[in-house]
Amino acid sequence: MNEKVLPRSMAPYSLALLPGDGTGREVMEEVKRILSTFHDSGAISLETTEIPCGGQHYLDTGEEWPAGSFEYCRDESDAIVVGAVGWPGATLPNGDIAGGQALLGLRSALDLYANVRPVKLYKGVKHKVHGSFIDVWDNELVDIVMVRENTEGLYHALLRRSGMAARGEERDEPLVIDGFPGLEGEVGWDIRPISRKGSERVIRFSFELAKRRESRLGSVQKVTCVDKSNVTRGCRLFRDVFREVSSEYQGIVTNEAFIDAFTMWLVRSPEDLDVVVLPNMFGDIATDLASVLQGGMGMAASANIGDEHMLFEPVHGSSPKYAGQNKVNPIAAISSVQLMFDTLGLKNDDQEAMLCAEVIERAISEHMSSGGPVTYDLGGKASTTEVGEAIASRCAAILTELGS
C-alpha cells in the first residue's frame, strides 16, 4: 500500500465560525462570502461549521453556546473565526459578560497567548483624528503590529473563570482577602499577575514576528516593550524578561516605553514603531487607540495565537447601535481572514494558504486605493454587503489572473 501522507493541499481546513452578537453576525456573512470565494475557486479547500454564541444567544437560550462547542473548537477545527461577543444587558448571574466563553474562554482554555493586532494604514484610507476626514498621511507611515499578551495580567481572573466554564468546570473565585490595609468600606478589586513564562512566550513571539517582517519588508525592525515598570512589579518582570529575550536577537533594534508616554508617541510618531509588545490590558486599550491611525475600528483585524490553536476576530465589538442596519465596515473581519490564511500558511508551511492571504491583502489594498465603495466610518455610503461583495469579487478576479 502506498504510505504517502495526504498532501496538505488535499485535506480541507476545518474552520469554526462564531458570529456572536450584533454586527458580529453581519460581518460574519462577509467572512463567509470571502471563504466561499476562495474555496469555490479551488485556491484552497475549506470546511466550515457555524456555532451560535454570545450574549444575545444567552438571552434567547440561557446558555452561552451549545454544549460541545468548546470541544469542537479544540479538537475539530484548524482555526476559529469570531464576529463579536458582548450585548447590553447580557450578563451572567456572577456579573461576568455573557458569551464570554466563546472569546475569553477560548483565549484562556486554548492558551492563545499572543493577540496580534496589525495597525496598517492602506493607501486611500482617510483617517479622522480631528473629526473631519483627512488624507494627508502616506501609507508607509503606519505599519505597526501590536502584540498584546492574552492570557494573564488584569484579565487573569475573568479569563480563568471563562476558561473553566468552557472546559465544563465550575468557575472558581480562588483568592479571598478580607479587607485591604489602608482602605475602608466596600472594595472592588482585581489581581494582575504577570508570570515569567507568560511574558517570555509573548515577547519571544514578538521578536520572531519582527524577524519575519525584516525578511518580508527588507527593513530593520524595532521591537518596543510597553509597560509601567516604574510602578508595578508585574511590569518590572515583563521588562526584565524583555531584556533577557532581546539579547538573543542581535539584529533587531529594541525600545522601551511606559504606557502613558507611549500613547502620546503612538499618535504623534507612529512611523517610529514596528512591533510593539504589551501586557494584556494595556494592549486592549492601546489597540483601540491605534485603530484611529488606520481608519478606525472598522479596519482593525486581530489574531489570537497559541502553540496549538488559533482564533481570529475583528477588534471591534458588536456595535448594538448599528446592529441590523447592514451598515458597519466588514474590512476588519475580512482582514482577520487574511491573518488566518497567513497564520495557517506559516504553521503548516502551506503555500496555498499563504497565497490566499496575499490575495486578500492585495484585494483590500486595491479596493481602497482605487476608491472602491466604503462604509460610513470611512466617509462613504456603501453597505456592509456592498463592501464585502466588492472585495470578494476583487479576490475572485485576482485568483483568475493568477490562474488558480
For ligand IPM, give the closer residue by CB, 86 or 388. 86
Site for Mn ion in 280-339 (CB under 5 A): 284
Which residues does residue 147 pair with via DSSP β-bridges, in sequence order? 116, 277
Minimum Å distance from CB 319 to Mn ion? Answer: 13
| CA–CA gap between residue 158 and residue 193 (Å, rounded) | 12
Question: Is residue 22 part of the contact set for ligand IPM (CB under 6 A)?
Answer: no
User: Which of 70, 214, 209 has its CA nearest to residue 145?
Assistant: 209
The type of residue at 168 is G
For ligand IPM, give the closer residue by CB, 104 or 323. 104
Question: Is residue 350 part of the contact set for ligand IPM (CB under 6 A)?
Answer: no
Q: How many CB atoms lie within 10 A of CB 248?
A: 9
Mask of contacts with ligand IPM, 139-168, x by CB under 6 A? ------------------------------
Which is it for strands 13-20 and 222-227: parallel, antiparallel or unpaired?
unpaired
Which residues does residue 118 pair with via DSSP β-bridges, in sequence order? 145
Query: Residue 86 binds what, of ligand IPM, Mn ion, none (CB under 5 to 8 Å, by partner type)?
Result: ligand IPM
Site for Mn ion in 74-93 (CB under 5 A): none
For Mn ion, give the closer residue by CB, 101 or 150. 150
State which H helix or E strand residue 311 sits in.
strand 310-314
E strands, 95-221, in order:
114-120, 143-149
Which is it for strands 222-227 and 143-149: parallel, antiparallel or unpaired?
unpaired
Question: Is residue 86 part of the contact set for ligand IPM (CB under 6 A)?
Answer: yes
State which H helix or E strand residue 290 sits in.
helix 280-291
Minimum Å distance from CB 115 to Mn ion? Answer: 9
| CA–CA gap between residue 373 and residue 238 (Å, rounded) | 43
Query: Residue 198 binds what, of Mn ion, ligand IPM, none (CB under 5 to 8 Å, by partner type)?
Result: none
For ligand IPM, give the closer residue by CB, 86 or 163. 86
What are the cell numbers at 401? Answer: 489572473
Site for ligand IPM in 226-285 (CB under 6 A): 284
Minimum Å distance from CB 96 to ligand IPM? Answer: 10
Q: Which residues bind to ligand IPM, rule: CB under 6 A? A: 85-86, 97, 104, 284, 315, 317
